[in-house]
Amino acid sequence: MEKSYFLMLAAYHRWAYEKLSDSLKPVNDPDYRKDVGLPFRSIHGTLNHLLLVDRLWHARFEHRPPPYTRLDEELETDRSQLAQALIQESGAWQAMLREWPDKVLGDELSYRTTKGAPRRLPIGPILGHVFNHGTHHRGQITAVITRLGFDYPVLDLLYFLAEQSPPS
């Protein structure tokens, strides 16, 4: 696994949160907070979960104690501050990855789950999971935005890559 691939995914992760955040601005607060049947109930609950999980994985990679024991703990009640925190936290992946030597991706990470169970898994696939997890939940949110009648952002990786490449 190459570090450049994960740096690209980290940049995409941040880009996708920026696009999603912009698309949520016209959604009124009751719709934003309404239980729409998502695993974390609302758009807000799902975004909050995404912030929590990014922070949790950062702590694990930095060998710090887990900051949370529940995956639905509310970290930020204000929606604009939550959006900013998501963008900031997602940007921290790039900074962390830049510091790692290439060989780290082949190492294993020992950590504890939120229920306290010990785990030891390969770092490269864990990073893949972190970015895939964000994509999964952002997709749920875009489905809700569509159902509510708002314009949804196109968050496909190909659009990110096209924006990053100069026109030919």
Judged on CB neighbours under 10 Å (0-12, 13-18, 19+), 115 is: exposed
Task: Please tell me the predicted confidence (pLDDT) of residue 1.
Answer: 67
Quote the number of domains for the chain. Answer: 1
Are 127 and 9 in contact by the 8 Å Cβ rule? The answer is: yes
Give the whole-angstrom CA distance, residue 55 versus residue 44.
Answer: 17
Residue range of the domain that includes 46: 3-164
- Note the pLDDT of residue 118: 96
Q: What is the mean pLDDT of each run of 10 residues along the chain (168 residues)?
A: 93 98 97 97 98 97 91 96 97 95 94 94 97 98 97 95 84
Longest Cα–Cα distance in the chain: 52
Q: Identify the pLDDT of residue 110.
A: 97
pLDDT of residue 168: 66
Say what the pTM is: 0.94
Kindly report the CATH number assigned to the domain that includes residue 92.
Answer: 1.20.120.450
**Residues 95-127 pLDDT 10s:** 999 999 989 999 999 999 999 999 999 999 999
